[in-house]
Structure 1
Amino acid sequence: MFLVLLAFIASATSSSGFPRIISIFMMVVGLMLEFQKGSGLEGISQGILLILPLLCLVTLSPLLSVPLKLEGYFEAVNALLRNLIHYPRKLFAGITTSLFILSPILSLGSVRVINEFLSALKLPSAITAKSYLVGFSTAIMWSPYFGSVSLVLYYLGMPVGQYILYGIGLSLLSLIVGNFLFFIWERKHPLLKKEIPEAVLETQHRSQLIKLTMFVSILISSSLIIEHLTKWSMIVIVCVISIIQPLVWAIIKNNGWKRLYPQWITFKDVSVPIMNNEIMLFTSAGLLGHAIQDTSIANNLSYLLINIAEKSIFLFAFSVMTIILVVTFIGIHQIAVITALAMQLSPTELGISTLSLAMLLLLSWAVSSALSPFSGLNLMVSRLSGLSGVQVGLRANGLHLLILSIIGIGIFMLVA
């Protein structure tokens, strides 16, 4: 607990702006609630230890990208996107599919990588906002290497193997809807970039793209197999793989250690400091979510949602999504409200399956991350596209998120 608090303080002193303000606010409120409940230091310790696995996951997962950089996979993705510059619909599909593959491993770093490739192309802001949000938000709903999936399933006590196919299915539907809506949008807003030369997608690049897809598939499959055999938490498995995988790469490759060392220095000096906001937000939001549990507000809300679920499963799903969207839209991180709901709500009392509750919470997480102008995803896409957070979420992607929500609630009702 002491080390986590030190990490929070160190991150807070190195950060600025709204993330710093909201993190300190959530931390103070969480501490006050724990003392008000009478749990004191013991409650604070439990809240921080509950979020500790996610902090480990967020901090260590960037190590997974080391072999991708050293093997030249990013250059192959760059060649693919430049090859599609004269075909807007194919380009949009290429961006969203690349993010679908890269985001589980690189997290928000995948958006930075793709944007570096596309910065010289000077795409319209609307295309940037649409493609980045559509592609990245899919990982929030399915990837075990993503904090959202690992955290929700961790608190609900559900193995990732029992959920992942449903999550992938919902994510693929989101990709299809997003690309279909872009198809319609592009007919009215043609993209002409004839002055930019089309890159040649060489055989070597095609081979690298296939290897990249296989790499991600093997990574996910191995995690699921280990979970099935050991019954360990997926968060633990991902952290262990994040450490071991670069070491294995260094052993089997020529001059592996020599090539790995600069990447390790970059991870230590660049990648970890970049995550100051995430460390602050996750720590404070996790503590706040634990502190809210068993308060009068949480108990009354839980009682209300149980009564709603008894009358209508649809109204229950709509109410949960509305609560999460409202709370996150005013700046409270998804972890705080969704952690509180995951720990407070019992699928048995609600009369639904654990799978359906997990799907609903992760759908709400993805939609709120795209809509909230204070979420890390929305803030980054807003900065890269030059649009405001509201324009990125509501104007550019509102229809897509609405249709995704309707589809998601429909699937929730089927599996409930």
Structure 2
Amino acid sequence: MRSYLILSMCILFLIQYFANIEWLGYLVVIMAILSFLASVSISTGCFPRIIGITMMVTGMILELNKGAGFEGISQGLLLILPLICLVTLAPLLSLPLKLGGYFDAVDALLRNLLHHPRQLFAGITTSLFILSPILSLGSVRIISEFLTDIKLPSAMSVKGYMIGFSTAIMWSPYFASVSLVLYYLEMPVGKYILYGIGLSFLSLIVGNILFAFWERNHPLSKSYDPKIPLNKKHRFKLFQLGFFVIVLMTTSLTIEYVTKWSMIVIVSLISLSLPIIWGTIANGWHRLSTLLKVYRDQSVMLMNNEIMLFTSAGLLAHAIQGTGFANALSEFLTILANRSFLLFAIAVMVIVLSITYVGIHQIAVVAALAMQLNPEELGITTLALAMLLLLAWSISSTLSPFSGLNLMVSRIVGISGVQTGLRANGLHLSILTFLGISIIMFIK
């Protein structure tokens, strides 16, 4: 029943986006509140539940204190609903890939690289770079399943998963981070994406260079099965996978350029349409229907924490806007930016990292900054502010022991969140921060 509520909410929101019917907007808001309550009741982990409830209650209190009342709460929820639709519907993109045998090709590629640790690490990070925009955290789970029986050192697994996945946070419009920041800054994805990809490639290059030095001092065992060359079928599937991602991104950017619609809405519509198109062209409705039932009954049901945290963090971010604290912080950062962009960038990084490190979701702090800060008053371009906020989001996702990425990787590898973030990837994050801010200073 809960999955039907969430999916109906997403469909109605998309209709409301184009129809702009007032009563339908209020209906969607009520459904969002009910979805939040349902998610809280069955969410996993006491701490996320406490954080989610705290952010939701705080957001409502702030809206009431500002005199906005239910109208302010509605506006806050309507601003975050596109992101909830994206998170809920994006997993549909993976269904054609699962049925097409593409994951088997990725598995074959990684096994083919076992005798070359540096190439294997590059394969892991590159695979996640390609798969993460489509599969989100599911990409880490899939790659880890491929490597389960290989027994890689925990340090290598942690570095590979974190570096590979965190790149997508900085560039992919199919990710909550990019879509949300650009949505609030009112910046077209087409004007940002090349710079985001540049930051992501920089992260990959730095990560692979650091791993090469690490591997020199920690040589891996070569006691693996004999190397088996990739067959033509797997090579073709890998080529198709890369082509699929390129077509997906190109289609999204083209639709955005022509229609001027929100990229979050475009991605949601593509997510809904792709399985239908694939089922029609490949005549695979029977196989697809099985996966659609699994998606409805399991995948949507497993999004409790995401829906709970995204809804509450989005409302809190909207509620903070215009408060005395937010205005004071904005004024402080504006003065700092006019004196020194470097000090401003460091302050933003410290604010995001410190707040997210104690468990507050990135959406709350980054969205609040995106809504509160004015690039013109800061004396910088919208592009520079977007790059800085997404760089901070990516680094905090790796560093915070409470982020979804850190929690998943630490659980897979069997080490603590602090070891996963700070100890295993601290040097990489420090270098990336330095290089990233330097580049942003150059283009600001």
Q: TM-score range by the shorter chain?
A: over 0.9
Task: Give the equivalent residue in structure 2 for 1:386.
Answer: 414
* Match status 1:251 vs 2:317: no
Q: Does 1:28 align with 2:66?
A: no
Runs of 4+ with >4 A deviation: none
Q: Which amino acid aligns with 2:301?
A: P
Distance 1:142 1:274 in 2: 25
- The answer for the alignment partner of 1:202 in structure 2 is 231
1:275 aligns to what SS in structure 2?
Answer: helix
Tell me if structure 2 keeps the 8 A contact 1:96–1:135: yes
1:280 to 275, 298, 308: 308
Percent of aligned pairs with the same amino acid: 66
Query: Given the alignment of the two structures, is residue 396 of structure 1 paired with residue 396 of structure 2, yes or no?
Result: no
Q: Hey, what does 1:190 align to over in structure 2?
A: 219
Partners in 2 of 1:26 and 1:196 — Cα distance? Answer: 51
How far did residue 199 of structure 1 move?
4.4
Q: What secondary structure, in the 3-state scheme, does the structure 2 residue paired with 1:191 have?
A: coil
Whether 2:226 is the aligned partner of 1:214: answer no
Distance 1:131 1:16 in 2: 26
Q: Against the structure 1 CA distance between its residues 168 and 33, is the aligned structure 2 distance closer, same or farther, given a 3 Å change threshold?
A: same
Q: Which amino acid aligns with 1:363?
A: L
Secondary structure at 2:356's aligned position in 1?
helix
Of 270-279 and 220-229, the range deviating more from structure 2: 270-279
Structure 1, unaligned runs of 5 or more: none
Aligned equivalents of 2:202 and 2:413: distance in 1?
A: 25
Question: Retained in 1: the 8 A contact 2:115–2:224?
Answer: no
Does residue 333 (structure 1) correspond to residue 368 (structure 2)? The answer is no
CA distance in 1, matches of 2:232, 2:198: 31
Separation in structure 1 between the aligned mates of residue 33 and residue 387 of structure 2, nearest angstrom: 32
Partner AA of 1:39 in structure 2 = A
- Residue matched to 1:2: 30
CA distance in 1 between counterparts of 2:436 and 2:292 reads 40
Deviation at 1:24, TM superposition (A): 1.2
**Contact 2:95–2:275 under 8 Å retained in 1:** yes
Moved more, 52-61 or 120-129: 120-129
Matched, 1:317 2:345: yes
CA distance in 1, matches of 2:245, 2:66: 45
Alignment length, in residue pairs? 415
1:12-411 to 2 correspondences below 5 Å: 12-17=40-45, 18-254=47-283, 256-411=284-439
The residue that corresponds to 2:9 in the other structure is none
**What is the CA deviation profile of residues 151-199 of structure 1, one whole-angstrom value per residue up to 9, with x for unaligned ones?**
0000000000000000001100100000000000001111114144544
- Higher mean alpha-carbon deviation, 145-154 vs 119-128, is at 119-128
Q: Tell me the alpha carbon deviations over residues 320-354 of structure 1, each in whole angstroms, 9 at most, x when there is no partner.
A: 01100000011100000011100000001001000
Which segments of 5 or more consecutive residues in structure 2 lack a partner in the other structure? 1-28
Distance change in 2, residues 1:116/1:40 (3 Å): same
Is 1:121–1:196's contact at 8 Å kept on the other side of the alignment?
no
2:246 maps to a residue whose letter is: S
Q: Structure 1 residues 87-96 or 5-14, which shifts more?
A: 5-14
Q: Mean alpha-carbon deviation: is it higher for 187-196 or for 167-176?
A: 187-196
Answer whether contact 1:129 1:381 (CA < 8 A) is retained: yes
AA aligned to 1:107 is: S
Aligned to 2:430, the other structure's residue is in SS state helix
Deviation of 1:32 (Å) = 1.5
**Separation (CA, whole Å) in 2 of partners of 1:381 and 1:196:** 26
- Aligned Cα root-mean-square deviation (Å): 0.9
The question of whether the paired residues in 1 share the 8 Å contact of 2:114 and 2:224 is answered with no
TM-score by length of structure 2 reads 0.92
CA distance in 2, matches of 1:293, 1:22: 20
Opposite residue 128 of structure 1, the aligned amino acid is: S
d(CA) in 1 for partners of 2:43, 2:80: 20
Q: Distance in 1 between matches of 2:346 and 2:59?
A: 27
Where 1:393 maps in the other structure, the secondary structure is helix
- CA distance in 2 between partners of 1:16 and 1:377 (Å): 15
CA distance in 1, matches of 2:338, 2:196: 26
| 2-structure distance, mates of 1:16, 1:382 | 16
Tell me if the contact between 1:334 and 1:365 (Cα under 8 Å) persists in the aligned partners: yes
Distance in 2 (alpha carbons) for counterparts of 1:196 and 1:274: 36
